[in-house]
Amino acid sequence: MGILGWIIVGGLMGALAKAIMPGNDPGGIIVTIIIGIVGGLLGGFIGSALFGVSTAGFFDIQTWLIALVGSLLLLGIYRVVVGRRAVRR
């Protein structure tokens, strides 16, 4: 699957990650979707490189799950980093 496919999947999974992990994010839904896109790309690259997972199909459930895990992971890291920064102010 190409980069454009991962951007689409990542955007959708970013919105789903926000629904799974509700909370008050400083950036709002736009930043969450961007985090989803980056998380989807990251999940796809890591899944392919480390685990040999095929992410060739856009409609493959494995592709969507990898993007969701990457989005959730990156959203969690973002909240920890931004949360620490907000406490220091």
pLDDT in tens, 33-51: 788 888 877 877 777 777 7
User: Mean pLDDT over all residues of the chain?
Assistant: 75
Q: What is the pLDDT of residue 53?
A: 65
- The count of structural domains within the chain is 1
Residue 23: predicted pLDDT: 74
Minimal CA–CA distance to 71: which of 3, 13, 8, 5? 13
Instruction: Report if residue 14 sits inside a domain.
Output: yes
- Give the contacts of 56 (CB within 8 A, at least 6 positions apart): 1
Structural domain contains residue 54: yes
64 domain-assigned: yes
Q: Above 80 in pLDDT, residue 27?
A: no
Domain range spanning residue 63?
3-81
